[in-house]
Structure 1
């Protein structure tokens, strides 16, 4: 019993989840601004830096949370759920940064309608992810638990929308783009953007499991 009393209980896991979700949305908004201002080199660099800053902030929260898992004797939800959730959330932030970096590395010159649409869906997924994460601390309340599950369903729908946009974009790309290099570049960007929504759906699935097990 003395050993248990010497170790912290609960921890600030929900606070850390919220902080990480905020960094994800910051990265998503910065990336959206990057796409919207892509033709301006100065603004492009500015928003690329903002994406990087948000991703590094997310990494710091992930590290803090993973350390806290090992130092906390009693956690508010299952340790494996905490570990899976924070690390899958971190994958979302990483993918946003990867997409911005890939645009620069592949020297993508123009943002087309498909990139804009996939970016918009990615941002919406990230915003709804944040909404669902914010509810976790209060899922013992039935109404909050139901709202969290509904938000997860909305993320699933947005992911399906992104999947349809990507399939259409790929079809158009292979039919209409004569430059093989452009095909390869844009294909990679489309896939990364769609993967952001996939990973948001993974987070939503984890949240659904937490809600159903703990509400």
Structure 2
């Protein structure tokens, strides 16, 4: 009995996943407001800081999950699955911060319709990631497991939409943008935003694996 009391208990990994997903959505929504209010320097700076704050909060959650992986005797799902999931989720938060920082560093002067569309798809992907993550703790219920897989399929569809927007954006850019420097700037932003949706799809794939192995 004494030995069992000394063993590290099961960490609350699912709650930490939820916290991280909340941070991702906060960063995505702040980035969306940054894009919508880009013409206003004060609001641009405000929302840039909000993206940074959400990303730093996500980092703290990631570090706590990593600590628990090494100190928890029994984990609710495979340790490698926990490690992979939290790190892919953290990539999403990092990419949103990178996108905001790149806009500032490259001195982008205006938002294009393609950038707005990619931002919208990125936010929707992040919100669906949040929804899928919130189901993980209950995937022992078959109905919940099926719902999680459905949400993951929705993320895949959104990522495919982002691919199509990206192809169209690049076509428009190379056909109609005469300023080479502006072309380089916009291309970098487009690629970062499209990669946000790619990483969300990676999160969905990881969740699908967890569901299929543990439900």
Q: TM-score, normalised by structure 2?
A: 0.98
- CA drift of 1:135 comes to 0.1
In structure 1, the residue matched to 2:71 is: 71
In structure 2, the residue matched to 1:196 is: 196
Q: Which residues of structure 2 form unaligned runs of 5+?
A: none
Q: What SS does the aligned partner of 1:73 have?
A: coil
In structure 2, the residue matched to 1:108 is: 108
Q: Distance in 2 between matches of 1:181 and 1:147?
A: 45
- Give structure 1 regions of 4+ aligned residues with deviation exceeding 2 angstroms: 1-5
Alignment of 1:95-174 (within 5 A): 95-174=95-174
The 1:139–1:66 alpha-carbon spacing in structure 2 relative to 1, beyond 3 Å, is same
In structure 2, the residue matched to 1:38 is: 38
- Contact 1:31–1:51 (CA<8 Å) still a contact in 2? yes
Q: Distance in 1 between matches of 2:163 and 2:3?
A: 50
- Contact 1:125–1:197 (CA<8 Å) still a contact in 2? yes
Instruction: Find out whether 1:55 has 2:41 as its counterpart.
Output: no
- Contact 1:7–1:71 (CA<8 Å) still a contact in 2? no
- Count of residue correspondences: 215
- CA drift of 1:9 comes to 2.5
- CA drift of 1:74 comes to 0.2
- CA drift of 1:145 comes to 0.2
- CA drift of 1:7 comes to 2.2
- CA drift of 1:5 comes to 4.5
Q: Distance in 1 between matches of 2:89 and 2:2?
A: 35
Q: What SS does the aligned partner of 1:75 have?
A: coil
- Contact 1:26–1:54 (CA<8 Å) still a contact in 2? yes
Please give the root-mean-square deviation of Cα atoms over the aligned residues, in Å: 1.0
In structure 2, the residue matched to 1:29 is: 29
Q: Distance in 1 between matches of 2:3 and 2:132?
A: 35
Q: Which residues of structure 1 form unaligned runs of 5+?
A: none
Instruction: Find out whether 1:6 has 2:3 as its counterpart.
Output: no
